[in-house]
Structure 1
Amino acid sequence: MPMMRALAYDRCGPAREVLTLRDLPRPEPGPGEVLVRVAVSGVNPSDAKTRAGTRGPAPFALVVPHSDGAGRIEAVGAGVDPGRVGQRVWLWNAAWKRPMGSAAEFVALPAQQAVPLPDAASYADGACLGIPAMTAHRCLFSDGPIEGLDVLVTGGAGSVGAYAVQMARLGRARTVTATTSGGAKAEHAAAMGAQAVVNYRESDAADRILAATRGRGIDRIVEVEFGANLGVTRAVLNANGTVAAYGSMAEPEPRLPFYPMMFAAQTLRMVLVYLLPLPARNAAIADLTDWLARGALRHPVALRVPLAEGWRAHEACEGNDRIGAALIDVAEGV
């Protein structure tokens, strides 16, 4: 039986204690699936939280983590075009409700979850995309085009935020404002294209956001901390505006000002990247393919480690200091 190297855990706990390099049987693609030889695996905070046990016990007896990655199609299952063999691809949802993710030399998954990677993009670029880029796209464009709108990206230095800032500029938003905690993160958000960067810790943050739009207010918010930022949201969001939230860790059960928001006809949208509607996912993939082919997106990387040191990438995703993606080099010569 062909074997492969994989990073895996059989119990939840600290990364350096439970993540181990193992020899496992190489999977075979089933009907409608492709087998991808993984070059680079992308680590996200959700991977670290699941491994740490903050979302419950380990979901399977043995877990090979990570939803994101990039590589080359090695084989295809029944019903898949054989012409896809040899195609460079990036992956999404590789580990969603599945025990075998991209932290392995090979992963078998549904063919549509292996997206052709334009020649202009590297495997590292592709491994950055799945969760952050698809989340950013859904938050920005779920309620229609943003051309001519004023956009606010909270957490503009994070992986989602950095993509959202870039995509907002590519989508021809009138203004793109980002919030950060200042310092290097403010510089990073500006480097990604934010026209104004506001320190959310300052008492006049709402006033500064409004000033960045010359008093017009915000039409669309990409929101990393819905509950904690709700006061600022209420102060800056326009009538008929949308706040698309993908997190609320600081206040997981915030009190919603329903009637004030209703009488402003404002929309609160919850975004979970694993459950994107098919049309939204297809739209995101189409835009990403175009932007990647044109080299229009930047993919900052904070940490890149070999497979045997994958625990380091997990640890980097446990706090808020990281600026850029955490990647694991799985195999060379892919």
Structure 2
Amino acid sequence: MKAVQFSRFGPADVLEVVEMPVPEPGRGEVLVRVHAAGINFFEVLMRANRYAVTPDLPMFPGVEIAGVVERIGLGTDASLVGARVAVPLFAIGRGWGGYAEFVAVSGGSVVPLPDAISFEAACGLMVQGLTALHLLRRSPARGKAVLVHAAAGGVGSLLVQLARRGGASMVIAAAGSDEKRALALSLGADRAVDYTAPGWPQDVKRQTGETGVDIIYDTVGGEFSKAALDALAPCGELVLAAMGRFGLEAADIERMLADNQSIRGFSLLPLLSPQGVSSDLAELFALAAAGRLKVVEGGRFPLHQAAEAHRAIEERRAVGKVVLTP
């Protein structure tokens, strides 16, 4: 089978397609033929050795797949053969191997995928869908004015919709292009701002009657976090779900304390359990199947174009979910 690896850190071109043996499903395992493998920003960072954890090399990236069960091992439910499934590899302690034509996993780790959900959409509802869902559970939007950063991205586009469904009084989308702002508005945002424009926090303040937003969901970090404080209301909450630096200094923290504001950190993995992941994904799949949650597809690339897929994310050319289609 074909799989994607990188044997050194660097730009997208370090990704290469290699031939590997098709894995044999062991006892209790299933062999899944991959129809879509999700790409996440943290994999871009990991490839460049800019992630919090440095992986061993060679590294075979990919933490979420969707496909069809092709074979089973001994002691596995025979009814799984031919089933459409989603496999959140990251949630079962496996942070590798998804960029491939086949993956062998425990039969208990697969989640049934309704016929109404495409394999590509399923990938968009795993890392990113679960992140959006748990962000709103930890910091509920009901009755509050909220700001969603990177609102046209995989997490942001889902956050806009779930915050609207969750009863937010106002959803303001922050995005860096006219196209991305228009997308966020089409998904249910009330207002959209250009976070690359000077003075954008003051624009947010004006749109909230000079009060500011109650919650900022920041999934990017960097200088945005520091600038966003000017858009945060007294007693507001800055939720940091990014994987990079946040740009906050001691003076910023002191200012937040004076305004009774708070910072909430967010990390998805510690919030997950095997049973919870299955039920959470079933909830997200049901919403999507009913047309009440839209997964924005950001592009499909064959395995041999994995480098181009990484570049599309790294250069912020993509919106929504980018996938590989072996």
Q: TM-score range by the shorter chain?
A: 0.7 to 0.9
Residue identity opposite 2:232 in structure 1: L
What 5-or-longer segments of structure 1 have no aligned partner? Answer: none
Task: Find the residue that maps to 2:38 and give its secondary structure.
Answer: strand
Residues in 2 aligned to 1:324 and 1:277: alpha-carbon distance in whole angstroms: 23
Deviates more, 1:131-140 or 1:168-177: 131-140
Residues in 1 aligned to 2:26 and 2:264: alpha-carbon distance in whole angstroms: 36
Report 1:118-157 matches (<5 A).
Answer: 118-143=114-139, 145-157=140-152
Name the residue aligned to 2:217.
222
Report 1:41-120 matches (<5 A).
Answer: 41-55=37-51, 59-76=55-72, 81-94=77-90, 98=94, 100-111=96-107, 113-120=109-116
Residues in 1 aligned to 2:224 and 2:173: alpha-carbon distance in whole angstroms: 13
Matched, 1:317 2:313: yes
* 8 Å Cα contact 2:143-2:168 kept in structure 1: yes
The 4+ residue runs of structure 1 with deviation greater than 6 A are: none
Name the residue aligned to 2:206.
211
RMSD: 3.1
Cα 1:241–1:252, aligned 2, differ >3 Å: closer, same or farther? closer
Name the residue aligned to 2:23.
27
* 8 Å Cα contact 1:68-1:128 kept in structure 2: no
Q: CA deviation at 1:251?
A: 4.4
Residues in 1 aligned to 2:170 and 2:62: alpha-carbon distance in whole angstroms: 34
Q: When the two structures are superposed, what TM-score results if normalisation uses the length of structure 1? A: 0.83
Residue identity opposite 1:236 in structure 2: A
* 8 Å Cα contact 1:150-1:220 kept in structure 2: yes
Name the residue aligned to 1:174.
169
Query: For each residue in 1:88-136, what CA deviation from the matched residue of structure 2 results, as whole angstroms up to 9, or x when unmatched?
Result: 1223235986474211111123445432222211111112222222222
* 8 Å Cα contact 1:100-1:107 kept in structure 2: no
Q: Among all aligned residue pairs of Structure 1 and Structure 2, give the percentage whose two residues are the same amino acid.
A: 31
Residues in 2 aligned to 1:57 and 1:161: alpha-carbon distance in whole angstroms: 24
2:292 to 296, 301, 310: 296
Residues in 2 aligned to 1:23 and 1:116: alpha-carbon distance in whole angstroms: 29
* 8 Å Cα contact 2:174-2:194 kept in structure 1: yes
Q: CA deviation at 1:177?
A: 0.4
* 8 Å Cα contact 2:225-2:247 kept in structure 1: no
Cα 1:78–1:245, aligned 2, differ >3 Å: closer, same or farther? farther
Total equivalences in the alignment: 325
Name the residue aligned to 2:4.
7
Q: When the two structures are superposed, what TM-score results if normalisation uses the length of structure 2? A: 0.85
* 8 Å Cα contact 1:94-1:109 kept in structure 2: no
Name the residue aligned to 1:235.
230
Q: CA deviation at 1:197?
A: 0.3
What 5-or-longer segments of structure 2 have no aligned partner? Answer: none
